């Protein structure tokens, strides 16, 4: 017998409530929390000048209107073509766009969800790339894996270990390379076009501080040069006046 979805047959004009949180912690441990926070902050900074790219994480994504039970909470997700502004939850029908990229910081505690229901939901939603990173090496072999949507299912993307043992996989959606150090559990994004690692929030603050110091030094040097130039100009004017006075005295 078919089951009836109570959310699809509600009284007219009755508002649907979409919770913003389930009260669960952001991650089960620091080993999952640190790469999660890094990924969100690094990607937000990378796409900061793109008003049509939305980056978020650990947020409810509702994918069926009028059905609050049709919800999933990716660790990190990126949407191209959605306005970049703060939200309490992401509703696919409001922006007309599902996430293009999803990253799950996986572990044994979340293995069943990450490998089963979530993967099926992401494919159903049309998420173009689904990546998983296992920073503690609990079960995922290799510990960094990417998948690309092919029809209604996912096909694995190539991943390989570098000479130093760091696992790498390329995201064509982000045009960035994901890198995971299996020894330290550190997750990084690498920009091949700029040949640089995307900095963490702390590293961004250090970069900003250095730029501020350099700018202040440049302004101070410029002011000093202008003061010296003005002093030289005043001295020349004084010498000209003195010369004129001497010439007048000899006439």
Predicted confidence (pLDDT) per residue in 62-86, tens digit: 999 999 999 999 999 999 999 999 9
132, 103 Cβ separation under 8 angstroms: yes
pTM here is: 0.78
Q: 240 pLDDT band (50/70/90 cuts)? A: confident
Mean pLDDT of 230-238: 83
Check whether 52 has a pLDDT greater than 90. yes
Which is higher by pLDDT, 136 or 14?
Answer: 136
Q: What percent of the chain has pLDDT over 90?
A: 62
Q: What percent of the chain has pLDDT over 70?
A: 88
- Of 116, 183, 103, nearest to 146 by C-alpha is 103
DSSP3 helix / strand / coil % (the chain, rounded to 5): 35, 20, 45
CA–CA–CA angle 158, 159, 162 (5° rounding): 140
**CA-to-CA distance for 21 and 177, rounded, in angstroms?**
31
Instruction: Pick the range with the lowest mean pLDDT from 11-20, 73-82, 86-95, 156-165.
Output: 11-20
174, 101 Cβ separation under 8 angstroms: yes
Q: 53 pLDDT band (50/70/90 cuts)? A: very high
What per-residue confidence (pLDDT) applies to 5? 53
**CA-to-CA distance for 180 and 169, rounded, in angstroms?**
9
What per-residue confidence (pLDDT) applies to 13? 64
Q: 203 pLDDT band (50/70/90 cuts)? A: confident
Which is higher by pLDDT, 245 or 176?
Answer: 176
Q: 90 pLDDT band (50/70/90 cuts)? A: very high
HSE, CB side, 13 Å, CA atoms: give it for residue 249: 6
For residue 40, the SS3 value is: helix
What per-residue confidence (pLDDT) applies to 73? 95
For residue 118, count CB atoms less than 10 angstroms from its CB and return exposed for 0-12, middle for 13-18, buried for 19 or more: buried
- pLDDT digit string, tens, across residues 104-160: 999 999 999 999 999 999 999 999 999 999 999 989 999 999 999 999 899 999 988
Check whether 1 has a pLDDT greater than 50. no
Mean pLDDT of 157-182: 93
Which is higher by pLDDT, 144 or 201?
Answer: 144
What per-residue confidence (pLDDT) applies to 3? 42
Sheet strands side by side (includes 196-197)? 159-161, 167-171, 176-180, 187-191, 196-197
């Amino acid at each position: 017998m078919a089951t009836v979805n109570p959310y699809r047959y509600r009284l007219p004009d009755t508002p649907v409530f979409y919770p913003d949180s389930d009260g669960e912690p952001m991650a089960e441990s620091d080993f999952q929390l640190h790469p999660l926070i890094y990924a969100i902050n690094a990607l937000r900074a990378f796409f900061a000048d793109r008003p049509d790219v939305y980056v978020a994480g650990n947020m409810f994504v509702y994918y069926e209107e009028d059905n609050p039970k049709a919800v999933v909470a990716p660790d990190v997700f990126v949407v191209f073509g959605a306005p970049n502004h703060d939200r309490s939850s992401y509703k696919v029908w409001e922006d007309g766009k599902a996430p293009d990229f999803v990253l799950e910081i996986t572990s044994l505690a979340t293995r069943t969800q990450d490998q089963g229901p979530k993967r099926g939901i992401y494919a159903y939603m049309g998420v173009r790339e689904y990546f998983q990173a296992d920073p503690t090496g609990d079960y995922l072999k290799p510990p960094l894996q990417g998948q690309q949507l092919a029809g209604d299912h996912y096909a694995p993307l190539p991943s390989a270990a570098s000479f130093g043992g760091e696992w790498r996989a390329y995201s064509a959606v982000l045009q960035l390379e994901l890198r995971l150090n299996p020894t330290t559990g550190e997750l990084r994004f690498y920009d091949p076009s700029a040949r640089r690692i995307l900095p963490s929030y702390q590293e961004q603050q250090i970069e900003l501080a250095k730029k501020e110091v350099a700018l202040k030094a440049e302004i101070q040097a410029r002011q000093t040069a202008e003061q010296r130039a003005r002093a030289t100009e005043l001295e020349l004017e004084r010498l000209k006046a003195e010369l004129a006075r001497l010439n007048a005295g000899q006439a």
